A = this chain, B = another copy of it.
């Protein structure tokens, strides 16, 4: 194996959603970065649905953006339908979602990578890590060249020993049409990593020309479309609708008739699939009484006839797939352009990672994305970004950046992964976060912009824009707290109109706004200043006022938890010598090796009593 003469600061393996963010972050932080991937024509390809965001995932995207990542800007530039979900619900669960033009998404991301200083993009399949003794030194590639690097980030997605299933037929592939990655996961196993098997699936891609859209219900995006990124001014791509269709009892009949040839039910697939993202056969089996399941027919791009029927993934044989899709009203004549399939792949249990996403076994090796057992582009991108940041910080000799559970969904996700590990594909839900009211999409910048700027990812110009916003929010909040009603004619007229007759002179605008009957926008009816408040400022002020009680309660909880989170557990801690712990707890702690007391407290079976014992033991030690 010939060694390339350059020693990179960071080598990223895989240019999927995790790898792209990782490489961009490291390069933007000034590290010389090599991004290796199997096929340069498939950079940032969306393996499954042509969309970014959605419940809890939208939060991840905004956080990635706030920290200085690329995903939000990429979808803003290539999105063809934007929608904010849950607009009627509280701000904590409001979430952005956008359809992408899949080809444009991929091409723009490649362009951004190519144009990034310090970043070198090369086609190559990594077949193994290169270690000298126990020291990681770089990676070996199939074409016979060894690349040297100070740190390595693996983001192999669904490619390691990828095996594609369609009915009882199966064959190797990293994704339909793509080569698998062979060799790397065997080596990881030999090195002591717990390599497991997961599976996921995708629906068929259908020929839009053979769908009778007039019989489906169109669903339009928001007008005007709201961008994901805090730095995008306006969406300029043409916008198109999706369409809603439904399965029916006959569809379910067809599915049932194929179950004996389902690779899952026949036991051919050993990998564990995502519970929350079931195939249509799972839904039919699990909910036998349900008369219909909904699907969105999503366009894959502005200029292609390929469409994606969401939620209709299956690994049943093709002769079941065809009548199944055709049983849906409006799809009676539909032609399948790419069959649905399931894929099994190797992952590495993330319990073997630190909170920085560095592996515990091998120093300077990081894992991010689907290799950690997660599923979803946004989850991958969030991890990729953090791994890229932390590899760069390591190179610079700095402490890692770890986001707390009260700071970001990214923090919740990584903490869940490294603390609990996973035996099934992990995806983000708002329910996984205990401080949901603090972790909103709208305040992702308030939470994270500064951290992004501190590590060098957020450019000064963008950061200054953010600082101005933060000041304006503070000033406006201050203003409405101190500004009081003088009962002018305009004010009185306003109160009367909103049936707020009991309001007294001297009430502050803040108190008024706290009333459920009043929105910030309505204040403008008598308050000239608020008419001119920019939308982004107004939004923050309004939410802070309306949800103050809840927010404060969560902040209290965070404060109480902070002590635990801030107490590190020494790496060499000998849990078996700590008196007062049960053997079960000792074993769990020894196996999981949590970084902090907070992490320890989230390991199932580790009781609050055990945490107290530990806390005392630590004090005695140090």
Shortest beta-carbon distance, A331 to chain B, in Å? 15
Q: Is A509 an interface residue (CB 8 A)?
A: no
* Interface contact A38-B335, CB-CB below 8 Å: no
**9-residue interface stretch from A117-125, A283-291, A371-379, A511-519:** A117-125
Select from chain B the residue with minimum beta-carbon distance to A104.
B107
Q: Is A169 an interface residue (CB 8 A)?
A: yes
A2-27 vs B: 1/0 string, CB under 8 Å?
A: 10100000000000000000000000
Q: CA of A341 to CA of B115 in the docked complex: distance in angstroms?
A: 26
Contact among B143, B304, B305, B318 with A169 in the assembled complex (CB-CB below 8 Å): B143
Contact among B39, B144, B167, B338 with A177 in the assembled complex (CB-CB below 8 Å): B39
Select from chain B the residue with minimum beta-carbon distance to A41.
B177
A124-161 vs B: 1/0 string, CB under 8 Å?
A: 10000000000000000011110000000000000000
CB neighbours (8 Å) of A57 from chain B are none
> With A143-B169, A319-B2 known to touch, is A338 a contact of B123 (CB < 8 Å)?
yes
* Interface contact A337-B40, CB-CB below 8 Å: yes
* Interface contact B45-A123, CB-CB below 8 Å: no
CB neighbours (8 Å) of A121 from chain B are 207, 337
Q: CA of A177 to CA of B319 in the docked complex: distance in angstroms?
A: 30
CB neighbours (8 Å) of A107 from chain B are 103, 303
* Interface contact A143-B177, CB-CB below 8 Å: no
Q: CA of A41 to CA of B124 in the docked complex: distance in angstroms?
A: 19
Which residues of A from 70 to 113 have beta carbons under 8 Å from B?
A: 103, 107, 110-111
CB neighbours (8 Å) of A306 from chain B are 40, 114
* Interface contact B144-A305, CB-CB below 8 Å: no
Select from chain B the residue with minimum beta-carbon distance to A111.
B303
A35-53 vs B: 1/0 string, CB under 8 Å?
A: 0001111100100000000
Q: Is A322 an interface residue (CB 8 A)?
A: yes
Q: Is A339 an interface residue (CB 8 A)?
A: yes
> With A42-B41, A103-B107, A304-B114 known to touch, is A142 a contact of B123 (CB < 8 Å)?
no
Q: Is A312 an interface residue (CB 8 A)?
A: no
CB neighbours (8 Å) of A318 from chain B are 2, 143-145
Which residues of A from 184 to 222 have beta carbons under 8 Å from B?
A: 205, 207, 209
* Interface contact B171-A142, CB-CB below 8 Å: yes
* Interface contact B336-A122, CB-CB below 8 Å: yes
Shortest beta-carbon distance, A169 to chain B, in Å? 4
* Interface contact A38-B177, CB-CB below 8 Å: yes
Q: CA of A362 to CA of B16 in the docked complex: distance in angstroms?
A: 44
* Interface contact B173-A179, CB-CB below 8 Å: yes
Q: CA of A122 to CA of B339 in the docked complex: distance in angstroms?
A: 9
Q: Is A525 an interface residue (CB 8 A)?
A: no
Q: CA of A396 to CA of B42 in the docked complex: distance in angstroms?
A: 41
Q: Is A225 an interface residue (CB 8 A)?
A: no
* Interface contact A115-B179, CB-CB below 8 Å: no
CB neighbours (8 Å) of A45 from chain B are 41
A323-367 vs B: 1/0 string, CB under 8 Å?
A: 000000000000111110100000000000000000000000000
CB neighbours (8 Å) of A177 from chain B are 38-42, 123, 179
* Interface contact B176-A178, CB-CB below 8 Å: no
Q: Is A273 an interface residue (CB 8 A)?
A: no
Q: Is A317 an interface residue (CB 8 A)?
A: yes
Shortest beta-carbon distance, A268 to chain B, in Å? 13
* Interface contact A120-B335, CB-CB below 8 Å: yes
> With A107-B303, A111-B304, A169-B143 known to touch, is A178 a contact of B39 (CB < 8 Å)?
yes
A584-604 vs B: 1/0 string, CB under 8 Å?
A: 000000000000000000000
* Interface contact A305-B120, CB-CB below 8 Å: no
Shortest beta-carbon distance, A183 to chain B, in Å? 11
Shortest beta-carbon distance, A104 to chain B, in Å? 9
CB neighbours (8 Å) of A145 from chain B are 318-319, 339
Q: CA of A177 to CA of B338 in the docked complex: distance in angstroms?
A: 19
Known: A39-B178, A111-B303, A173-B179. 7 other contacts (CB 8 A): A41-B177, A114-B306, A120-B335, A123-B339, A142-B169, A144-B166, A144-B167
Closest 6 CB pairs of A and B: A39-B177, A2-B319, A123-B338, A144-B169, A145-B318, A114-B305
A-B contact pairs, 20 of them (CB 8 A): A2-B318, A39-B176, A40-B306, A40-B337, A41-B177, A107-B303, A114-B207, A114-B209, A114-B304, A120-B335, A123-B339, A124-B339, A143-B169, A143-B341, A144-B166, A144-B167, A144-B168, A144-B318, A144-B319, A179-B179
